Structure 1
């Protein structure tokens, strides 16, 4: 992958890793634990590439591995943390890139790097799992963290982040539920979070501000996508995004026009993207572009990190809502704030849940619900009109992100705004989930 985006080396490999000047080639070489010689072979490949082409490797010890490796043909099924794991048939397993384990219900990825991103390889595993009706379980030690894009990709059940518990066994890295290997997959064994999951949480001054918003556009040859996300980025950081791509590392310079071309080429299939900002201003977004009966929809989740609560620009949310309503076809936007790492890495322990800060309803849904009804919600704070005076959206303040009671207000607001027609109500972020069945139906 040819990477043009500055800062991706330090973001994904660590702040002390030296980055090349200008664009550079990024090559991932992965060793499957299903083959005893794979790790040595991968080190040899990386070492020889560095010797012939220059550059550097990570981890640095790989550089000296340039020997010839004899590979024994595989004669047995891969094993992992549990005995008698079971395996899928050859035809189904061949649908996946080389994995550590594939069973009838689950594709298992074992990894141990300090930060696990949504690489093109993991994206291909997720696609293959969806085609074959399997879950993807990423298994890591407890010190490992995930990037936000991978955390989002693993969020829908039955996918899981499985963390090895230092006290024995395993737990879900997103919900903390204890897990055990049963019948070829990881299954919950209790309802209460594991002690290792709750013990890692600690108070912090750092904050994460997340905007989950949706825009809808009329299909048109002149339509350029990505401008709503750029407007939000500029409004909150003072600069546009730096790069975009379909996986991590994010490799392309920011360009709404090129982003639109890719989405148009993939239509009517949806397009999932990752967007990053400058290294000195921590922000990352996922963007899903799809065709709907209403038009071309952009579903965006933008998260920004702040070292101190006073740095969070809560006072800028209403003016941002007005801009998105007026210029970018906003339908809904929910802003939440929580105490969590400002580097946006997802740790394998509990963090405080997000607290709603504000909600914006676009003009289309205001008309569908009725302005008189939408303007009188059963909460203490009154909405403020944003956008056109004749057909405004409504911006509902819900608090400053410090009152857990804001969730109750948000639930009352959501119930009040649920229209009597088929128009969907504002989406509420799902609580931590547990899946007790071996295989869950597709959403």
Structure 2
């Protein structure tokens, strides 16, 4: 299985420290650069990548190493340098560990996982040569077939790293699915789940009893026709093509933990004075009492929260869309993803946000109406859905069944209300009438729905409301 080894250092690894780590591989190893110089590869004589090293990233956000690695990092700010060993190549894993260990020693830090960085000896070398372009230029991919790209990962949390982002883009460009294979103890970051494409992409979990199963659906899988596909039950019929569900996926215990999930869309007029991220910060402050802690274009989130800097990045990449991840303080788990895109109506922000709560913690349900009011009156809200889920406080996605959320409330912005005929937005078939938001001349509406995470009947009310609003 592929090993990711990470050096967490107090000082920025200088070029000599990186070179010393690379030379630990010995004189028969070659060095190549890819990704416009952002990735350095240690290759064999045939140009095959053995270890791929990402450019060091300065982490200025508390809690990211703990959240994604379970590791204790140096004090913030610190440097995060990833090395990825290639699957199936002898000694690649040892080379990655030696590189990270040497880098940590020279730059005042530690390596994760600790057992991978025990060998710090540097092999004497007569020099380094430039490697030819390797046959497998995508360092994140372990297996490539006509249908899918397969990534094998052995880390506690599969995060939306720069590696994985590149793999998603590469697979999409080649019209392939992306399948991520992990051991049973691994979890997914919600940021990965938000970007996971549809079939044949999937999260494949190794299992002692079943071999492999889908971590999101529980379906038992087998390698067939160049990809992991579902196993059809012997009892299946044409009318009922039953797929077996792994027993491990069904082993669920209710811990009393909950997640408050908020998804919303805003559309701002395109203006040079526009600052993005304000709607997300408003929701964060209303529901937690404080602002987000950090943000980035990949995980780990490395920059302190700054709507201005986030706007600068989105503006520089326009008209192409930009994706961001936003995290909260470790004391109140929170994670959001933002997709900024240009539309005919202006600049759209599509936000998915979740906060985690323990069994004894009170959820800020009384703040939902106030939050909706602020978005409608100050942030050009189009629509918002709030849900309550039985799910982990740390927000990570386990390879176990987690039931669907139930809708607590739906919000319609003033522009959407204005575009509806007659008085349709105010007069609904629901038993509880909506609450008006904003000025009477240009209102939005908050529609209260079910609040019991054990009662899925709220979805019936939500479906009825959607049919009514659409005039179906």
Q: TM-score range by the shorter chain?
A: 0.7 to 0.9
Whether the aligned pair in 2 keeps the contact of 1:92 and 1:132 (CA below 8 Å) is no
Q: Which structure: greater strand fraction?
A: 2
Helix, strand or coil: the match of 1:258? helix
Counterpart position of 1:13: 69
Q: CA 1:123 to 1:69, structure 2 compared with 1: closer, same or farther past 3 Å?
A: farther
In the TM superposition, what are the counterparts of 1:89-238 in structure 2 within 5 Å? Answer: 94=136, 96-154=138-196, 156-190=198-232, 191-192=242-243, 194-238=245-289
For residues 69 and 418 of structure 1, what CA distance do their matches in structure 2 show? 69
Aligned residue among 348, 352, 363 for 2:403: 352
TM-score (norm: length of structure 1): 0.86
Aligned partner of residue 379 in structure 1, secondary structure: coil
1:51 deviation in Å? 2.2
Question: Structure 1 residues 300, 37: closer, same or farther in 2, change over 3 A?
Answer: same
Equivalences, count:
398
Task: Tell me if structure 2 keeps the 8 A contact 1:32–1:39.
Answer: yes
Counterpart check, 1:412 vs 2:454: no
2-structure distance, mates of 1:336, 1:95: 42
Q: Deviations over 1:224-251 (max 9, x none)?
A: 0000000000000000001000111100
The answer to whether the 8 A contact 2:215-2:400 is kept is yes
The answer to which of 327-336 and 161-170 deviates more is: 161-170
Matches within 5 A, 1:34-433: 34-67=88-121, 94=136, 96-154=138-196, 156-190=198-232, 191-192=242-243, 194-308=245-359, 311-370=362-421, 372-402=423-453, 403-418=455-470
Distance 1:130 1:155, change over 3 A: closer
Write out per-residue CA displacement over residues 2-52 of structure 1, whole angstroms, 9 at most, x where no aligned residue: 1111111111111xx322122111011111213222111111111111222
Structure 1 residue 103: deviation in Å? 1.0
Q: Which of these two proteins has the greater Rg computed from alpha carbons?
A: 2
Q: Given that residues 99 and 107 in structure 1 are in contact (C-alpha distance below 8 angstroms), is that contact kept between their aligned partners in structure 2?
A: yes
* Local SS of the residue matching 2:424: helix
* Structure 2 Cα separation of the partners of residues 276 and 309 of structure 1: 23
CA contact (8 A) 2:203 2:214 kept: yes
Choose 282-291 or 190-199, whichever is displaced more.
Answer: 190-199
The 1:363/1:321 distance shift into structure 2, 3 A limit, reads same
CA contact (8 A) 2:297 2:325 kept: yes
Secondary structure, counterpart of 2:66 in structure 1: helix
Give yes or no for contact 1:165–1:196 (8 Å, CA) kept in 2. Answer: no
Q: Partners in 1 of 2:458 and 2:134 — Cα distance? A: 47
Alpha-carbon distance, 1:66 to partner:
2.3
- Which has the higher mean CA deviation after the structures are superposed, 373-382 or 231-240? 373-382
Any idea what SS the aligned residue of 2:324 has?
Answer: strand
Specify the SS of the correspondent of 2:210.
coil
Take 1:370 and 1:397, find their aligned partners in 2: how far apart are those partners? 22
Gaps of 5+ in 2: 1-56, 125-132, 233-241
| Equivalence map 1:19-38=2 (5 Å) | 19-38=73-92
Distance 2:357 2:436 in 1: 29
Q: TM-score, normalised by structure 2?
A: 0.81
Q: CA RMSD in A?
A: 1.9
User: Structure 1: which 5+ residue stretches go unaligned?
Assistant: 71-90, 421-443
Cα deviation, residue 378, structure 1 = 2.3
Mapped to 2, the partners of 1:101 and 1:378 lie a distance apart of: 53
Greater mean alpha carbon deviation, residues 217-226 or residues 403-412: 403-412
